[in-house]
Structure 1
Amino acid sequence: MSTRQIEPKQRGFLIVNSHPEGAAATVRRTWEEIPARTDGREPVALVLGHSAGYGLATLLAGLRQHGIRGVGVAFEGADNGRRTATAGWYRTGAVADLAREAGHDVRFVNTDAFSDEGKTEVLDALAQHYGSVDYLIYSLASPRRTDPATGVTHHSVIKPLAAAYEAPALDFSGAEPAVSRIRLEPGTEEEKRATVAVMGGADWSRWVDALHERELLADGFTTVALTYVGSEVTAPVYRQGTIGAAKEHLEATARELATSPGVRAADGRAFTVVAGAAVTQASSAIPSIALYTAFLRTVLGDDAFVSPARQAMDLWDQLEGRTPLRLDDAGRIRLDGWELDDEVQARVRELWEDPDSGLLKARSGAEWFMSQVRELYGWGVEGVDYGRLVETDPAWPARG
């Protein structure tokens, strides 16, 4: 056990330590945002990438409103004496506490979900405690992936394709947020392939195959992978770049899985789910996304900017048949209509065309974005006493 007072270590968007009580408070706030109800069915779910972003929101909404049972999987680091544990470690502890208090049966595995050993550990837990899986939620985000079949480690890159990308970006290196300019050279074909290997659908498909081989696909099995389309404003570095190539592969994988032997035998379904914009550790690393999101938040305000929790509630209602599936022409479930509304996007483009002037109008949005980045690591959370000693090395919670 390690009790100490800690302070944030931050440069720009990079924060290298986390506050346990602050991280836990963000989980409790999201939990309280989700109205409690019960459907009585208690489906079994496997949530890959449960400790942050949309994976976390989907787990919390599933617990709070549908009584899901099952396993959450993440790959988080413990306190090593120099740095605190990762925020996801602390968030998982908070989820476990809330689940236990509410009487939900959920277990947490800290492992490399890309590895064969990790898959075996998780599948063993499912087989021992829950049996067949009704839902597989795929929400993994990582800068690298080692292919278990080849042993090769692939590294993803954030680059445009075909042409260099120049655009405004949000700069927090000074006392006040400012606009800077970025230029990214186009990625190579090898960098594109590596990004697809990390962020595409190869591992998603391996998980479904592994569940099928262990006879753990329930009748009516559904699997979804979280993805993003985003605005034309950021398309050159996102949907038209290396990340976009990976997202296209993910979407193609959904179509392949829908007709795969295991899913067909279970009379199952496979979809990608297009979520709307959110401040996540992954999104804050993408050039220009911060400025775009600050403008979007300014245009929409507090109420119309749809949180990950509200989007997750929407997703579960669609999956569980409370509301009809909203599919686009490509067969993707859409949660992002609020973001891509034509009028909203037109107002964002007006700010983008003159970003310096736009930032003056969107200062509150920029400050909100940075506050959200800090909260990802448990800092700046209302009601948390950052001056007192805290336990930074709690054990990983095996159960909720």
Structure 2
Amino acid sequence: MNERVLTPRNRGFLFLDSHPAGCAQLVADMWQACPAPADVPEGDGPVALVVGSSAGYGLAATLAGLKRVGIRGIAVSFEKAPTVRRTATAGWYRTAATADIARAAGRDLVFLNGDAFSDAMKEQVADLVEQRFGGRLDYLIYSVAAPRRTDPATGATYASVLKPIGRASRTKTLVFDDEGLGEVREVETGPAEGDDVEQTVAVMGGADWERWIEHLDGRGLLAEGFATAALSYIGSSLTEAIYRQGTIGAAKADLEATARTLNERLGKTVGGRAVTSVNGAAVTQSSTAIPGIALYTGLLRGVLADGLVPPIHQLAALWDQLTGVAPLDLDDEGRVRLDGFELADEVQTAVAERWEGATTSTIADLADLDWFRAEVRRLYGFSVPGIDYAAPVATDVPWPDHTL
């Protein structure tokens, strides 16, 4: 067994290794934080598929589904195994910990590691639903953030970019120096060129979500009343030039248009529905790559403190709405809105004031830097309370076995 003492090594917000014990404790903490249902689910729960289950909101969807609803089914992610020189990715260790929780809860949840964009993965999932889970799928949660996608139909590979549309965008952003001190800088991002928008939409839009539904429906696997939700984000006017009005925003708009198409189709075929779920801000491996988002999220935490609703609570609310425990809270575009705590007028006004005054010399007073820095480290299993980081830890944790 390969045991090592692991210390965080990073390049900006990207860490080179992950801590298995820290990742496991983080999952356990999320499980504890998820509110228990009024009636504890008994017997076989509904069959669910979570695509993108190992990180961020997808991980929260998996854990909240287990605890609030008692789901069984399949969770799909794409993670790297440990090697002699490197640990596994954090999502690998989080998946192993989630599998332990599902097993302890008596839920049959299969974890698959591979390319969710591929037809081979869709076929593997369909076979499992048919052979292991009674041939009927009740829910599909879609939470995929990826830099590129190969279209199985054409073989073409598309790459997503984070760029504004129409003109360059100049924004403040937050970085940390070698001593961990926050620094506010201005960065400029050039506008989308050529087919940047089309490429990003092809990766992050609704095409793959729709392909999942078509594949499963084509196999006759969608249960009566089947419901599906794709997880999304809108965010603040402070970040809209690079986000909602940029290439990624075009992809989100395509995702929402796909939801409307799927909702109409599922309503006719299985009495089902499709929605996008607009979640509130959180520190995730995807969000830290977007210029300005780190600064915005740190300032938002400075305003809200513990009023910043964590992903596990948001996804518990989504499951309640999907299962009918609570009514669907839809906006005029038919989107589930879980971001009200973030976009309330008084909150956005306070964040905007802090954004305007944010400089390297003032940022420590305006943003919760300690929280943000710790949240980034916790994405990789570091800075998790209760973990002895001076102790050696086994890094060759196996992927969960799904044989019966």
TM-score, with structure 1 as normaliser: 0.97
The residue number in structure 2 matching 1:19 is 19
| Separation in 2, partners of 1:54, 1:35 | 16
The residue number in structure 2 matching 1:225 is 230
Q: Is residue 2:189 matched to residue 1:194?
A: no
The structure 1 segments of at least 4 consecutive aligned residues displaced by more than 6 Å after TM superposition are none
**Cα-to-partner distance string for 1:337-383 (whole Å, 9 max, x where unaligned):** 000000000000001112116513224x1221111011000011111
| Separation in 2, partners of 1:143, 1:367 | 29
Once the 2 structures are TM-superposed, how far is the Cα of residue 265 of structure 1 from its aligned partner? 1.2
How many residue pairs align between the two structures?
397
The residue number in structure 1 matching 2:132 is 129
| Separation in 1, partners of 2:123, 2:34 | 33
**Cα-to-partner distance string for 1:304-330 (whole Å, 9 max, x where unaligned):** 110001101111111111111110010
The residue number in structure 2 matching 1:163 is 167
Structure 1 residues 6 and 360 mapped into 2: Cα distance closer, same or farther (>3 Å)? closer
| Separation in 2, partners of 1:398, 1:340 | 42
Once the 2 structures are TM-superposed, how far is the Cα of residue 173 of structure 1 from its aligned partner? 2.6
Once the 2 structures are TM-superposed, how far is the Cα of residue 263 of structure 1 from its aligned partner? 5.3
| Separation in 2, partners of 1:20, 1:318 | 33
Q: Is residue 2:201 matched to residue 1:213?
A: no
Which one of the candidate residues 339, 344, 368 is aligned to 2:371? 368
Once the 2 structures are TM-superposed, how far is the Cα of residue 50 of structure 1 from its aligned partner? 0.7
Q: Is residue 2:48 matched to residue 1:45?
A: yes
RMSD value over aligned CA atoms?
A: 1.3
Between 1-10 and 332-341, report the one with greater CA deviation: 1-10
**Cα-to-partner distance string for 1:108-130 (whole Å, 9 max, x where unaligned):** 01110101111111111121111
8 Å CA contact 1:177–1:367 kept in 2: the answer is no
Q: Is residue 2:303 matched to residue 1:290?
A: no
Once the 2 structures are TM-superposed, how far is the Cα of residue 160 of structure 1 from its aligned partner? 0.5
The residue number in structure 1 matching 2:76 is 73
8 Å CA contact 1:167–1:181 kept in 2: the answer is yes
AA aligned to 1:384 is I
Match of 1:259, SS state, is: helix
Q: Is residue 2:281 matched to residue 1:257?
A: no
TM-score, with structure 2 as normaliser: 0.96
| Separation in 2, partners of 1:267, 1:352 | 46
Match of 2:75, SS state, is: strand
The residue number in structure 2 matching 1:83 is 86
Structure 1 residues 120 and 263 mapped into 2: Cα distance closer, same or farther (>3 Å)? farther
8 Å CA contact 2:90–2:380 kept in 1: the answer is yes
Q: What stretches of structure 2 of length at least 5 have no aligned partner?
A: none
Between 351-360 and 272-281, report the one with greater CA deviation: 351-360
Once the 2 structures are TM-superposed, how far is the Cα of residue 180 of structure 1 from its aligned partner? 0.8
Q: What stretches of structure 1 of length at least 5 have no aligned partner?
A: none
| Separation in 1, partners of 2:350, 2:326 | 30
Q: How does 1:1-400 map to 2 (within 5 A)?
A: 1-37=1-37, 38-40=40-42, 42-130=45-133, 131-175=135-179, 176-260=181-265, 264-302=268-306, 304-356=307-359, 358-363=362-367, 365-399=368-402
